[in-house]
Amino acid sequence: RMVMKKSLTIGIIVPDITNPFFATLVKGIEDVLFSSGFMTILCNVDMNLTKGKKAIEALNHRGVDGVILASSGISITEVLNQELLQKIPIIELDQQVTTQTFDSVRTDDYRGGELVATLLNDTKHKQAVALFPKDMSPNILKRLVGFTDNFNGQVEVLPTELSKQSGKEMVRTILNTNATAIFAANDEIAFGVYAGLSEVGKKVPDDYSVVGYDNIEMSEYVYPPLTTVSQPIFELGQKTADLLIDRINHPDKDETELILPVTLIERLSVARP
């Protein structure tokens, strides 16, 4: 790869800047980059492929030294053409593609899904719904597979976007199932579910147990405090920035794949049915 270090700027592409997951993530990235003398250009692409492509091209025109693609909405192979791939160091964050090798940093999504399954098994749930996007990025798919592989009861997967609104809208559908437990692909969906359930007079965890994913700060402050899987979000950002700087300084080194651990944070949103 031909890399000329020149602009001391890095592009960060995120799918949804209103989701606090990405605020904490960018904070971690920026923390490392800033102290190493890099400025960041942040692009929000609304989980939109066309916007993602345009953002990468624009970043390339500005001569960025590298790009961090933090996307659960768009996949790296779709946004990048080969020419750009040769030119700019790119770190793929929080997803894993199989077709091409990049440096990548992610968390143990399979294990996260497994932790949720174990919790719901232990609390004797037999019917669960999983609220997951229709077009899942590889990391989020692993999360779901970790869950379905290990949950002893029945799981119905209901296609839900990674947003509060989509979680709220899904409540009508959930009410028509026999589920006693709801596993949301991220905390944002879980917050939407909380709102939707309270609108129809249903209580968490008395009527439904709810488990989120991410452990964004807010999950501790909703009522009842949300049981969720914690990703080391800030550290994920820091490690990604470290890796990118290392790549810029050593363009020909072997690709690295980092997987960070996750933990279950048990709060008050899960009970026996």
CB 3, min distance to ligand RIB, A: 27
Between residue 161 and residue 190, which ones bind ligand RIB under the rule CB under 6 A? Answer: 162, 186, 188
CA 101/CA 189 separation, integer angstroms: 31
Is there a cis peptide before residue 251, judged by omega within 30 degrees of 0? no
Query: Toward ligand RIB, which CB reaches closer, 75 or 186?
Result: 186
Query: Toward ligand RIB, which CB reaches closer, 186 or 269?
Result: 186
3-state helix, strand, coil in the chain (%, to 5): 40, 20, 40
Q: Which of 32, 33, 72, 111: binder of ligand RIB (CB under 6 A)?
A: 72
In the DSSP assignment, the letter for residue 95 is -
Between residue 223 and residue 262, which ones bind ligand RIB under the rule CB under 6 A? Answer: none
Closest Cα partner for 173 from 185, 157, 195?
157
Backbone φ/ψ region at 37: left (φ over 0), alpha (ψ -120 to 50), beta: left
Query: Toward ligand RIB, which CB reaches closer, 92 or 242?
Result: 92
213 binds ligand RIB (CB under 6 A): yes
In the DSSP assignment, the letter for residue 255 is P
Closest Cα partner for 183 from 144, 230, 222?
144
Closest Cα partner for 25 from 233, 245, 241, 244?
233
CB 24, min distance to ligand RIB, A: 10
Interaction pattern, residues 3-22, with ligand RIB; x per rule: CB under 6 A: ----------------x-x-
215 binds ligand RIB (CB under 6 A): no
Q: Which residue is associated with the tokens 């593609």?
A: 97
94 binds ligand RIB (CB under 6 A): yes
Query: Under a CB-based contact definition with an 8 Å cutoff, are residues 166 and 192 in contact?
Result: yes
Query: Toward ligand RIB, which CB reaches closer, 95 or 180?
Result: 95
**Element (H or E) spanning 194, and its range?**
helix 187-199
Query: Toward ligand RIB, which CB reaches closer, 65 or 192?
Result: 192
CB 99, min distance to ligand RIB, A: 19
Q: Which stretch binds ligand RIB (CB under 6 A): 6-14, 75-83, 132-140, 237-245?
A: 132-140
Residues at the interface with ligand RIB (CB under 6 A): 19, 21, 72, 94, 137, 139-140, 162, 186, 188, 213-214
